[in-house]
């Protein structure tokens, strides 16, 4: 992990902020189609040869770590989409997604640096497998209400990372609108669940959720760009840009498009 990534995550774990809760009725509307209970355990079909925190990892430079995390091509081609999804979500450098001021830059860097995520997004079943893991995260959100629960910080970080990964999904089949609508429903449902535990979040899991929904909305309905002031979606696409008028537009369009 880079120095800036470490500082960013450390600050997140030490701080919290408050946001207004969403009306409970909205949660019922967005979550009613994504409430399926999941068995949330997957074994890794292949594991990374060098683990963060080990002496070998510490001795590797930035490029050495990137090289060590590539999936061998013969393994990559033989993996099922389910196995590849889990391996990608265990990518040791995945947390670096959160270290960039502009969210697109972090996602771009992930796709440039990691062959696993590039292969995953070529697979037709990628969104289905990613959303299974996303529902598992949503099932765990209730632990945020337990002051004695372990792993709360890790859960929030994982939600933020998954939001960003889903933002880049591009449907490659004839049911593109249906695929995007399913992702949008999941994102919106998670946002509403997160709002109940807003004290546990400092932008992570909130702004990145708006960012992801804005990306999916534009893919579903390009004309929605006209809703943003001056046709500019920047207000939800870069870190710290949380202008309420942009966020309200994303919420309005989200509820319109999941119907």
Number of domains forming the structure of the chain: 1
Rounded Cα gap, residues 143 and 244, in angstroms: 29
Pseudo-torsion of CA 143, 148, 151, 154, nearest 10°? 80
- Asked if 70 and 115 touch (Cβ cutoff 8 Å), the reply is yes
**Helix or strand (DSSP H, E) at 78:** helix 73-78
* Angstrom distances, CA of residue 1 to CA of 54, 57, 145, 162: 13, 10, 29, 18
- At residue 25, the pLDDT reads 38
- At residue 203, the pLDDT reads 59
- At residue 6, the pLDDT reads 47
Mean of the per-residue pLDDT values of the chain: 83
- 119 versus 16: which is more confidently predicted? 119
- Asked if 38 and 136 touch (Cβ cutoff 8 Å), the reply is yes
Tell me which residue has tokens 């949008």. Answer: 184
Helix locations, 35-72, DSSP H: 55-59, 62-68
Query: What's this model's pTM, rounded to 2 decimal places?
Result: 0.84
- Asked if 144 and 197 touch (Cβ cutoff 8 Å), the reply is yes
DSSP state of 201: B
- At residue 200, the pLDDT reads 67
Model confidence over 38-97: pLDDT tens digits?
Answer: 778 888 999 999 999 999 999 999 999 999 999 999 999 999 999 999 999 999 999 999
Percent above pLDDT 90 for the chain: 53
Percent above pLDDT 70 for the chain: 80
144-167: average pLDDT: 91
Range of the domain at 121: 3-257
Confidence check: pLDDT of 210 > 70: yes
139-168: average pLDDT: 91
- At residue 2, the pLDDT reads 53
Dihedral sign from CA coordinates of 169, 172, 173, 174: positive
Rounded Cα gap, residues 165 and 181, in angstroms: 16
- Asked if 95 and 9 touch (Cβ cutoff 8 Å), the reply is yes
Structure tokens at 138: 């949503």
- 3 versus 82: which is more confidently predicted? 82
- At residue 231, the pLDDT reads 65
- At residue 244, the pLDDT reads 78
Model confidence over 161-184: pLDDT tens digits?
Answer: 999 999 999 988 888 999 999 999
Tell me which residue has tokens 């947390």. Answer: 95
184-213: average pLDDT: 83
- 93 versus 224: which is more confidently predicted? 93
* Angstrom distances, CA of residue 240 to CA of 1, 103, 180: 22, 10, 26
Structure tokens at 243: 């202008």
Confidence check: pLDDT of 30 > 80: no
- 7 versus 222: which is more confidently predicted? 222
> Coil, strand or helix: which one is 112?
helix
Q: Give helix 176-196 / helix 207-220 axis angle, nearest 10°.
A: 160
Closest by CA position to 17, among listed 206, 243, 214: 206
Rounded Cα gap, residues 251 and 192, in angstroms: 11
């Amino acid at each position: 992990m880079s120095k800036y990534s470490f500082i960013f995550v450390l600050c997140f774990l030490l701080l919290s902020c408050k946001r207004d809760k969403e009306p409970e009725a909205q949660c019922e509307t967005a979550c009613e189609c994504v409430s399926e209970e999941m068995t949330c355990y997957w074994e890794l079909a292949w594991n990374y040869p060098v683990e963060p925190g080990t002496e070998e990892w510490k001795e590797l430079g930035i490029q050495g770590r990137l090289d060590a995390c590539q999936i061998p091509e013969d393994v990559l081609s033989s993996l099922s989409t389910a196995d590849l999804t889990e391996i990608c979500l265990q990518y040791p450098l995945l947390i670096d997604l959160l270290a960039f001021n502009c969210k697109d830059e972090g996602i771009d860097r992930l796709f440039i640096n990691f062959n696993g995520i590039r292969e995953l997004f070529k697979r037709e079943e990628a969104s289905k497998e990613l959303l299974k893991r996303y529902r598992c995260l949503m099932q765990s959100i209730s632990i945020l209400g337990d002051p004695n629960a372990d792993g709360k910080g890790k859960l929030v970080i994982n939600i933020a990372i998954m939001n960003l990964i889903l933002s880049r999904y591009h449907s490659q089949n004839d049911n593109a609108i249906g695929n995007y609508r399913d992702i949008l429903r999941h994102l919106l449902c998670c946002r509403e669940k997160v709002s109940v535990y807003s004290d546990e979040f400092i932008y992570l899991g909130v702004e990145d959720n708006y960012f992801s929904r804005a990306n999916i909305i534009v893919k579903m309905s390009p004309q929605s760009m006209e809703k943003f002031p001056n046709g500019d979606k920047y207000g939800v696409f870069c870190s710290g840009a949380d202008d309420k008028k942009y966020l309200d537009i994303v919420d309005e369009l989200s509820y319109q498009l999941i119907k």
